[in-house]
Chain A
Amino acid sequence: MMAAMSATGLVATALPLAAINWHSTFFLLFAVLACVCAVAVVAADNVVRMALYLVLSLGATAGLFFLAGAEFVGAMQLMIYVGGTLVLLVFGVMLTAQAPFVSIKTAPGDRALAGIVGASLLAVLLLSAFSVEEWRKPAAGVVGEPTATPIGMALLGVRVDEPPAHAPAGVRSGYLLPFEIVSVHLLVVLVAAAYLARAKRRKTPRAIEVAASVEPPASVAAHAAIGREPAGRSGSVLVGGPR
């Protein structure tokens, strides 16, 4: 035992990485990955590569959530954002599938404009983030047990995160009703979008009906009716009268 202890002590002193703080290491790793990939999304010139970088960036953000103990939010991030980017990727592939590896060039003026807008947004965010006094101190301690159950309970109106003294008496509605309203609203939007996006198909008559209903082809009509007004004006487009 002593030998083992001294050996590990030797290893610990010999290694230059003595006492890595894994939490900070992973935080830096995920944060740098998220930022670099976010920049790469803008810099890349291929739709599918952009989607890949976006997925990496969002995945690194999910890693940050897991690191902070917010497992539910992290899994949500993976499910909704990363999974949603998947559908984006499918559309990207479908739209650019005619010619492989289409590259999208951004004009220099657009780059400059985007840079200005992004930098000003970043400045506002940084200012507001550093102006909150509590965020500048290190955290007081570990936040309580991370679990999804309080979220579900709060949805139903039972709050476990506030002391009973502050809780109002009687039945509370919770967030279930707003949540349901929002989700039904989203569903309506989805159905409406599907309806609008559907190609407006004119009811195409069948070939035999077309043949039965229209007048004879233009050339025949022209031969038959010399001296009358030019035929084909009233003819169907489907049969192809004179243009």
Chain B
Amino acid sequence: MAEFLITTVGLSEWLAWTVTAVIAAVLVLNVIAGGALVFIWAERKIAGRIQDRLGPTRTGGRFGWLQSLADGLKLLAKEDLMPEGADGMLFRLAPYVSFCASFCAFIALPFAFDFIGCRLNVGVFFVVAVLGLEVFGVILAGYASASKWSLFGAMREAAQVVSYEVPLGMCVVVPVMLAGSMDMVTIAEKQAGWFTNWYLFHDPFTFVIFWVYVTCAVASVNRAPFDLAEAESELVAGFHTEYSGLRWSYFFMAEYGSMFLVSAMAAVLFMGGWNGPIPVASLLGLSEGTGDTANYFVRLLGMFNLLGKATLGVLVMMWVRWTLPRLRIDQVMTTCLKYCTPIAAAMFAGAMLWQLFLPGGLVPGLDRPAGEIREGWLEGPGGRGAAAPAASDEKVAQVISSQVNP
């Protein structure tokens, strides 16, 4: 896009990059904020239906679809309270820390083949690292509020998130191992084609580890049944007890942003990313090389595909939230340490052995992307997954072949 602005529109280079960066940032911001609006409305409707009531019905016509916008206006108009004994700077800063962490993780999330804020070579690792920082804002909020309910909620959340990062990391490593790359674009591209190519159906171990990932993801974004940090029956409202108005809504936006993010991660890592269950684009004869318009159309289709999968994940989280009761803290820890971690470790070993001994899968006819092909720059210039055609590709390939097979 920056190249387009430089060559076609004629902007100078620094201005073009600035405009590109601002557009990307605003788009990502809208995914979080707009997503939060829609998801909060959906959550209220789903909660209502599950509890045999209607949810919001009046605001905005038939389904109460303007309800979250009205809530947002109400929050804007609310008084911004701060407890007298609070640590002012930390109290004001905490919501932004949470929100920024959630926002930064979206930078490396691909929405379609080229629709990505910044294509990082270590995308998965980056997202997991940044997502873990969201709890930082929660701890600051709990501490700075000078309220014991807030402090209890924050400490619970800290213990929970820190311990659930271990099995979450193990789950994330499995698709990385199968794809041979930490680049999220490469991982999704390896699963192109029919849904049988998804890593979810790669082998039985990945199928099991997907559900471990779901459990850990729900726990790491603090949704019920793991929402001990804001257990309203015991802790008033947990870490955000003392917050009101817009600051409170930043926490909410961060929470819904993270929910969407872990769902999109699940879609990219296990469910093919923007490659649908049915490869509609390639069945229609459209591909990347057909032309610029077709190219754009394919990517747009892919983006809707990914957004649909991520939304499905968020809806499942809501369904779980309003169905299951909240766990106790010891049950949360037991789930993590005694079940998720050992299962994830065993499934990781299993997937590794499967990849070693049955790389083609059980059914030989299925066209499965070979796991031993590493990143694009090893496949040679012009490969689909090539990050950028490096000049020394052939030399690198020579070095590798000479050292691997001396």
- A interface list, Cβ under 8 A from B: 1, 4-5, 8, 11-12, 18-22, 46, 48-49, 52, 55, 71-72, 74-75, 78-79, 82-83, 86-87, 89-90, 93-94, 97, 100-101, 144-149, 153, 157-160, 162-164, 167, 169-172
B130 near A144: Cβ-Cβ < 8 Å? no
B349 at interface, CB cutoff 8 A: no
Instruction: With A147-B387, A158-B403, A159-B403 as known contacts, state yes or no: A46 contacts B396, CB within 8 Å.
Output: no
Which of B117-125, B208-216, B262-270 interfaces with chain A? B117-125
A48 near B140: Cβ-Cβ < 8 Å? yes
B15 near A8: Cβ-Cβ < 8 Å? yes
CB-based nearest A residue for B127: A75
Q: CA–CA, A153 to B400, complex, Å?
A: 9
Please pick, from B144, B151, B406, the residue contacting A170 in the complex, using a CB distance under 8 A: B406
Q: CA–CA, A55 to B100, complex, Å?
A: 14
B-side interface residues, number (CB < 8 Å): 58
B129 near A78: Cβ-Cβ < 8 Å? yes
B135 at interface, CB cutoff 8 A: yes
Instruction: With A71-B126, A93-B154 as known contacts, state yes or no: A12 contacts B162, CB within 8 Å.
Output: no
Please pick, from A19, A87, A153, A164, the residue contacting B398 in the complex, using a CB distance under 8 A: A164
Apart from A71-B126, A158-B400: 9 A-B pairs, beta carbons within 8 A: A20-B18, A46-B87, A48-B144, A52-B140, A72-B125, A82-B129, A93-B155, A146-B121, A169-B406
Instruction: With A158-B404, A160-B400 as known contacts, state yes or no: A148 contacts B121, CB within 8 Å.
Output: yes
CB-based nearest B residue for A171: B406
CB-based nearest A residue for B21: A22
Tell me the total A-B contact number using a CB cutoff of 8 A.
136
A167 near B402: Cβ-Cβ < 8 Å? yes
A167 near B403: Cβ-Cβ < 8 Å? yes
B388 at interface, CB cutoff 8 A: yes
A78 near B126: Cβ-Cβ < 8 Å? yes
Name B26-75 residues within 8 Å CB distance of A: none
B11 near A86: Cβ-Cβ < 8 Å? no
A160 near B396: Cβ-Cβ < 8 Å? yes
Distance in angstroms from B399 CB to nearest chain A CB is 5
Name B87-122 residues within 8 Å CB distance of A: 87, 89-90, 93, 120-122
Please pick, from A79, A153, A160, the residue contacting B125 in the complex, using a CB distance under 8 A: A79
B121 near A5: Cβ-Cβ < 8 Å? no
Distance in angstroms from A145 CB to nearest chain B CB is 5
CB-based nearest B residue for A85: B136
CB-based nearest A residue for B393: A145
Q: CA–CA, A71 to B107, complex, Å?
A: 13
What residues on A are CB-neighbors of B120 within 8 Å?
71, 75
What residues on B are CB-neighbors of A22 within 8 Å?
14, 17-18
Q: What are 26 sample pairs from A and B whose C-beta atoms fall under 8 A apart?
A: A1-B10, A4-B10, A8-B9, A8-B12, A22-B14, A22-B17, A49-B90, A71-B126, A72-B121, A72-B125, A74-B126, A75-B120, A75-B129, A86-B132, A86-B133, A90-B155, A93-B143, A93-B155, A100-B146, A148-B121, A148-B122, A149-B121, A158-B403, A158-B404, A167-B403, A170-B406
Which 10 A-B pairs have CB atoms at the shortest separation, nearest pair first?
Answer: A79-B129, A5-B10, A78-B129, A147-B121, A75-B126, A75-B125, A145-B390, A90-B158, A164-B402, A75-B122
Please pick, from B129, B165, B374, B399, the residue contacting A167 in the complex, using a CB distance under 8 A: B399
B122 near A72: Cβ-Cβ < 8 Å? yes
Q: CA–CA, A170 to B402, complex, Å?
A: 10
B178 at interface, CB cutoff 8 A: no
Instruction: With A145-B377, A148-B182 as known contacts, state yes or no: A86 contacts B122, CB within 8 Å.
Output: no
What residues on A are CB-neighbors of B182 within 8 Å?
148
B192-227 CB mask vs A (1 if < 8 Å, else 0) is 000000000000000000000000000000000000
B162 near A87: Cβ-Cβ < 8 Å? yes
What residues on A are CB-neighbors of B402 within 8 Å?
164, 167
Q: CA–CA, A172 to B404, complex, Å?
A: 10
Q: CA–CA, A164 to B387, complex, Å?
A: 24
Please pick, from A1, A8, A146, the residue contacting B11 in the complex, using a CB distance under 8 A: A8
CB-based nearest B residue for A47: B143
Distance in angstroms from B242 CB to nearest chain A CB is 13
